[in-house]
Amino acid sequence: MTTAVIGDYELEMDSDHLVKLKDSSDLVGNPASLRERFDKDGYLFIRGFYDQDLVQDVRRDVLKDIDKKGYLDPTEPLSKGVVDPDWDGLEFDMSGTFWTHTPDSPTQSIQELTEGDHVMDFFQSFLSEIPLAYDMKVGRAQARGGFTEFHVDHIFMNRGTDNVYSVWRPIGDCPIEMGPLLICPGSHRHERLQETYAELDVDQDAFEWQFSDDPFDVIDTIGGPLATADFRMGDALIFSSRLLHGSLANQTGRFRISVDNRYQSVEEPVDGRWVGAEPIDHYNFGDWDDVTPISELREEWGI
């Protein structure tokens, strides 16, 4: 069995605790069926959503920039994305409009990936309305040991419509051992989670943003099994901003590269922190002098 790792915890694939994501590739072109599945599960996993040549272009451009910064092993081929053994970081951040909206951007290909005709046509069909892509993108190159704790995106972008759709894309193949996304299916419909934790705002409420770093805790309190997959280049995971998710740990010596961003209808209100020529992103997140531990809040909420 394949062992997945998140923090100090291990999960066995195809067990009572961890299963494969439900593949919705066969529903592409049938927006009614896609919406029905999304409403039920909170996500759509679509194999081959993107042309592999486009993703390969993004990967090449990103790796060239990472190499310029000295984070890659100079003795290994660039395409492998092997982390320099002398670099002791867990994650290289490549977020922001610099990566897509400036003349000296290291990768204009990310613009095509996130706002090209293919993805925008998909959301126009899925929403039955003209879609809006948030200008602020989130790019990560995660090294060995790096992972993301369980959270919902809504705590970061909750000042507009509730109908916000996140899209996560691995920039290259991303098997279990490289640390793909890990989700809690159906958690977008967990009433207590949604009326408490999911309604917080990281720029207004001084709280510990991670709901949990323990997958078994999530299963016990919110539900299970959790789900992930061996992602291949071109695959995409589309999920609700209210879906509880995190990522597995990268167990390899290569960078796990990903790009995610958000979409909504242009007809609905938008959280201004994430759009515009220079999105402000967050202005208090991480800067609070005193934060309420999530354990105290969860005890108060009863979850």
Look up the pTM and report it: 0.94
In this predicted structure, what is the pLDDT of residue 268? 97
In this predicted structure, what is the pLDDT of residue 165? 98
pLDDT per position in the chain (303 positions), as tens? 799 999 899 999 999 999 999 999 999 999 999 999 999 999 999 999 999 999 999 999 889 888 988 999 999 999 999 999 998 888 877 765 555 554 555 556 888 899 999 999 999 999 999 999 998 888 889 999 989 999 999 999 999 999 999 999 999 999 999 999 999 999 999 999 999 999 999 999 999 999 999 999 999 999 999 999 999 999 999 999 999 999 999 999 999 999 999 999 999 999 999 998 888 888 887 777 889 999 999 999 999
In this predicted structure, what is the pLDDT of residue 107? 53
In this predicted structure, what is the pLDDT of residue 105? 56
In this predicted structure, what is the pLDDT of residue 280? 83
In this predicted structure, what is the pLDDT of residue 96? 59
- Domain regions of the chain by residue span: 3-301
Report pLDDT digits (tens) over 263-296. 999 999 999 999 988 888 888 877 778 899 999 9
In this predicted structure, what is the pLDDT of residue 132? 97
Nearest Cα residue to 179 out of 66, 83, 70, 73: 83
Report pLDDT digits (tens) over 86-136. 988 888 777 655 555 545 555 568 888 999 999 999 999 999 999 999 988
Which CATH number is correct for 3-301, 2.60.120.620, 3.40.309.10, 3.30.70.1450, 3.40.640.10?
Answer: 2.60.120.620
In this predicted structure, what is the pLDDT of residue 73? 96
* Inter-CA distances, 59 with 81, 164, 255, 300, Å: 9, 26, 11, 44
